[in-house]
Structure formats: C-alpha cells, structure tokens
Structure 1
Amino acid sequence: MANTVTNAFYDFNKDSVNLDPSRTDKANSSRDWLFSQLNNLDEKESLNFPFGFEDQNIKYGSFARKTKIRELDDVDIMFCLTADGATYTKNFDVYTISTYNAGQRLLNLSDNNVLNSKKVVNKLKVSLSDIQYYKQAELHSKGEAVTLDLQSYEWVFDVVPCFYTDTELYLIPDGNGNWKATDPRIDQNLITTTNQNYEGRLLQLIRTLKYWNRHNSSHTLSSYLFEQIVINYVNSTAELSQWIDFNIRDFFNYLSIHVYNAVNDPKGIQGNLNKLSFTEKQAVSQKANWAYEKAKQAINYEIEEKNQEKAINKWREIFGTKFPKYE
C-alpha cells in the first residue's frame, strides 16, 4: 500500500521499473544455453565456421550490469573467436586484422588477406540458423552484431563476434568492414565497485532514474551515456542517502548543471560520450531543473509538513502515472 513515499518508491520500482525476477532468471538460463550452442558452431563441418575462444566470451550490456529496466527486450553477448594465426594493426582508432598467415576459415572471410568484419557478421548470421529453436536472425542496424530471435522468448539476443588481443582489449566489428576496440569488463567493474562503495545503493538509483530518462525527460539520453552520468554523480558525493528520493532530488540538480560537460568513456576508448547538441543539452538541463524543484517540494511535504499524500502526488508529477497513487 502506497501510504508513504518509501512504500510508493518500493512499489514503483517493483511493478514498473525493475525487471521481473522470473524473466531475469529465464533470460540468464537462455543466455547460458545460447553460449553453449555458439561454442559448438565450429564443430559442424558443414558450416566451416571460425574457431571459437570460449574462455573469452563476454556477457555485457545493461542486462549483465543489472541496470536494465523493464520490459526486457534484448540481451547482449560477445562471442569470441580465436585468432588462428591472424594478426592486427592499428591506425588511429581503426583496427585491421591480417589473415596472411591465418587458417582457411578466416581466409574465407577475408579480402586480400584482410579479415572483413562484415563477412564475419554475415557468416554468424547464416550459421545461427543451425541453432535449435531458431526463429530468425537479422543484422543489427549498426552492422556490429546479429540480432537473434529464438522461439518462446520475448527478448532477442544481440550477438557480437569479437577477438581477444594481447593488450587485453576486444576487437569488434565497426560496421564498415574493419574493427574497433572495446572492453566491457571495465564498465562492469566500475558498476560493481561503485555499488559496493555506496552500500549497494547505486543499481536501484540507476534503474529508477533510467525510467525517468526514458519516459519523462524532455530529451532521452542514450542508456549508456545516462548511466555514466549517474555514476559520475554518485562518485562526486561522499555518500548516498538510504532514502532514494533524496538521491534522486540531488541527481536532478547535478544533471541540470553537468549535462553541459564532457562525460568521459571509462574505458578510455571513445573519449567524450556526450555528443548532445547545445539545444539538446539545454532541454535536458531545463527539464532536470524542473524535476529538481518538484523533488524539493515533494521532500518538503514529506519531511516538514508530514504530508505523505502531497509528497507522493508530487513524485507522480515527476515520474508519471505509473508512480503509485496515495492510498
């Protein structure tokens, strides 16, 4: 029953923000099953699929980081392949993989002894049809992954082929035939460490604020950018309150100011993640300031006036009609 602000946020997060635990468990199981299927592709002689590097497969994305909000629509994985004699070179941020001394399976996907990432992605797409419970597979819009739709699941899998390098970075398709570097383990470690440093309060704060960003902000920031801004806010504070509404209020103030600033990629690869135009930044800042003022009013009703109903109604103005009514 939403008769206090604390109860209202609890019900809101449980019923509208957080993923359904039963579907989360099912998605975890289905992801592990899919990995087992992918790891067997190179054993099917008819496919002539590149050899896998099972130990370096990666679970990544907001689902893996436990920052995804409902509904569960996609699960991201990186499927690692062995170099099989191939080598790479870097020219600025573009990586080229040479297959001059590589095995035939990689040579088959090469142009003039240079591994074509588009051909690798397409090979993966075609080969996925050999997996049990296959429904359909499509190329991801950016050309970096294959989106796999399996029967009986409401989510799809975004499968990114990759290579693990001697510098401990991963190379993934760049959508143009070449390769680019990434390391999602850094994102995962940042989330885990920050959450531990702030008494386990980070993850729910990210998810609740992501709901606002998706449904109630004037300009929806990309999920990854928004997540980094929340992490930067948390790391700028000495501690997080045990009361999530206080943290949300203070974040809105932070966002209204810092949306104009650079947001550096924690992996040190992409540089400034904040590609918003000035007009977009201004719109976000103004809406965040609006939400900050509303949140201050809500907390004043709750703490000073001892009026839970007025406080809950004010939070409904910020988060929308799915935020519980007072009862």
Structure 2
Amino acid sequence: MATTVNGAFNEFMGKNVNLDPNKTKRARKSRDNLIDNIHGLNSDSNFFNLYSDIDISFGSFARRTKIRPLNDIDNMIGINADGSSYYENLNEVKIYVHDSNSPQYNCCNNNSNVLNSTKVINKFITGLKNINDYKHAETHKNEAAATLQLKSYEWNFDIVPCFMTKTDSYDRSYYLIPDGKGNWQKTDPRKDRVRVTSLNQKHSGKLLDTIRLVKYWNVRPTMPSVPSYALECLLLEYYDIRDETSDYIDLRFKDLLLFISNNIWNPIYDPKEIQGDLNTLTYDEKLKISNRANNDYDKACEAVKEETENKDHEKSIKKWGEILGSEFPKYG
C-alpha cells in the first residue's frame, strides 16, 4: 500500500523487480566458491589446463540488470590454449589442437585435431558432478554451456568454457565460446560491462533500475517479449544519445515506452560488433510490441497528469497498475 506515486514505485521495485540484496550477496559468494572448486579440477592431469586470468562473469546478473527471480548465474571459465590455434570462416570458428595436449585432443572430432565444443562441455559436466554441494550437472538447453544445479539454493550456474584470442591487427582480442553446434563463436562480455557501467555513470546511477523496470514490463503476458539482451541493447542506445534523464523512474519509464514503440522496428546492432542485428522479431511480434508500448505510453501520460496536474495520487497509482499489473501497490 502506498499514498504517493514515488512511494508506490519504491515499494514495487524493492519487492517485485530488484533482486533481494541479501540473496545477491549469497549468490556472489556461492559463485566465487564454485569457481574455486572448478579450478581445483586443475589437479587432475586428465582435465584441461585452466586459465583463471580470463575467467569472467557475464549476463544480466554480472551487469546488474537482472530482475527477479534470480534463477541463473553465468560464468566463463578460461582454458589455456597450450599451443592450439583458431581459424574463422564466415563467422564459423574452429579451434585446432596441438597433438601433445591430450585433454584437449581427446575432445576433438573423430580422426581430426578440431576441438569439439560439445565434448569440452561434457568434460566439464563430468568434472562438475564430483564437486560437493551440487546435485545435478547437465548440458544447457542451448547446448552452449554446462548447467549446474545447487543443493541449497534456487539458482543454477551456467558454466561456459572459453579461450582468449591474441590481439589482432585492430588491437582487439575475443573470447571463444561454444556455439551450440560443436564449433566456437566470438564474444566479448567486457564490452557489455564497460558500456553499461559508463552509461550508468553518465546518467548518475539512474540507468540500472530503469532497465530492470522495463525488463519486468517486457515479460508480462500482454505481448510477445523482446529477447532480454536485445532489449537491453535497445535501451542503451536510448541512453547513449541523451545527456540528461529524469530523477523520477516513472518519467524515465514513460519516455522509454515511447522509444520502444517507435524503435522496435529498427535493427538493434550488437555493441560488440560481432553478431550484427540482434532484432530477430517477426513483423507481427514487432507490431504487437509497438502497439502495447504505445498504449502503455498513453496510460503513463495519463498517470503523470493525474499526479502532477490533478494531484490525485490514487488515480495515478491505479493507472500505473494497469501498465505494470496486479503486483503494483494499491493506494492506501
């Protein structure tokens, strides 16, 4: 229950959108403990020679744009190349293993020295099954990671084996991760992390909460959902071209609804300059998302008018509830 719009949004964000701070703290501790346990596998001569210097957490939890529930935490675990090399052709990346590297060579395609990423994941799964405090390890549904279920917590870990390339002629290096088909693909979560952090600082720390609120709106069953990473990149485009933003999250949210309605039709380019256009939505999906965002923008304008001009917080809170659902606080 709330008597002001600001109070309603504060309550809503704390109880329904943002991760619980205590749970986040436990999750980070359990993540660090898991990574230590994985590196303990280095003592097994039959396991890969791990390269902790390139380990990195990625995904929305690492970027602090994750909303409730906390159900998965993503981590890349580095493997030392040990003489291996890679070759790229039309975005298909293959890693060629040195014959003397038996742990990697045993994960190659039959009668070749081409490293099979699915076999690498399976080797991680075999090792993870022997770690205490974890009850189940399996291949992720996208076949590009090992998913580990915990005994004591509700969140899972997605463990992604990776290599790091040498710096190229453009002074860039890349992570090589499984592509879900047995080969490898380029990525660079460092780019995403730096972009989110710098734009959040540019807008005085107001960006992260706003992204989370839009993500909550995005997964409500009122329209097709924009893929989470593509949506985040679209929102960052908005903040990248603006120098100022409102102090009030309801006003920021209102403006983003209009931006989504107008721009969901456009390409959403990968800021890492690897994947190209991330907007894979169909015309029908774009139409439904655009219409919902526009309708909710109109309602948001009504809610702001009730609050600022008519001084009627009760009507304003009710209107915001029409946009954000029954979990939004009632007036009172």
For normalisation by structure 1, the TM-score amounts to: 0.97
Aligned to 1:238: 243
Aligned to 1:160: 160
Q: Distance in 2 between matches of 1:247 and 1:217?
A: 21
Q: Which runs of 5+ in 2 are unaligned?
A: 168-172
Q: CA deviation at 1:179?
A: 0.5
**Is the counterpart of residue 310 in structure 1 residue 315 in structure 2?**
yes
- Aligned-pair Cα RMSD in Å: 1.0
What do the CA deviations read for 1:228-278 (whole angstroms, capped 9, x no partner)?
Answer: 111112223231100111111111111111000000000000000001111
Q: Distance in 1 between matches of 2:106 and 2:145?
A: 19
Q: Distance in 2 between matches of 1:83 and 1:208?
A: 41
Aligned to 1:44: 44
1:24-103 superposed matches below 5 A: 24-45=24-45, 48-103=46-101
Q: Distance in 2 between matches of 1:100 and 1:80?
A: 17
Q: Distance in 1 between matches of 2:290 and 2:14?
A: 28
1:102-251 superposed matches below 5 A: 102-111=100-109, 112-167=112-167, 168-251=173-256
Counterpart residue type for residue 210 of structure 2: L
Aligned to 2:3: 3
Q: CA deviation at 1:104?
A: 1.3
Q: Distance in 1 between matches of 2:5 and 2:221?
A: 19
Q: CA deviation at 1:44?
A: 2.4
Counterpart residue type for residue 165 of structure 2: T
Q: CA deviation at 1:216?
A: 4.9
What do the CA deviations read for 1:16-41 (whole angstroms, capped 9, x no partner)?
Answer: 00111111000000000011011111
Contact kept, 8 Å, 1:88 with 1:98, in 2: the verdict is yes
Q: Distance in 2 between matches of 1:284 and 1:238?
A: 27
Counterpart residue type for residue 162 of structure 1: C
Identical amino acids, percent of aligned pairs: 45
Q: Distance in 2 between matches of 1:102 and 1:117?
A: 19
3-state SS of 2:177 partner: strand
For normalisation by structure 2, the TM-score amounts to: 0.96
Q: CA deviation at 1:217?
A: 4.2
Instruction: Mark the CA change 1:93 to 1:102 in structure 2 (over 3 Å): closer, same or farther.
Output: farther
Q: CA deviation at 1:84?
A: 1.2
What do the CA deviations read for 1:259-305 (whole angstroms, capped 9, x no partner)?
Answer: 00000000000000001111110000000000000000000000110
Counterpart residue type for residue 8 of structure 2: A
Instruction: Mark the CA change 1:50 to 1:284 in structure 2 (over 3 Å): closer, same or farther.
Output: same
Contact kept, 8 Å, 1:241 with 1:247, in 2: the verdict is yes
Instruction: Mark the CA change 1:128 to 1:219 in structure 2 (over 3 Å): closer, same or farther.
Output: same
3-state SS of 2:219 partner: helix
What do the CA deviations read for 1:156-175 (whole angstroms, capped 9, x no partner)?
Answer: 00000000110320000111
Counterpart residue type for residue 96 of structure 2: S
Counterpart residue type for residue 87 of structure 2: T
Instruction: Mark the CA change 1:217 to 1:205 in structure 2 (over 3 Å): closer, same or farther.
Output: farther
Contact kept, 8 Å, 1:49 with 1:105, in 2: the verdict is yes
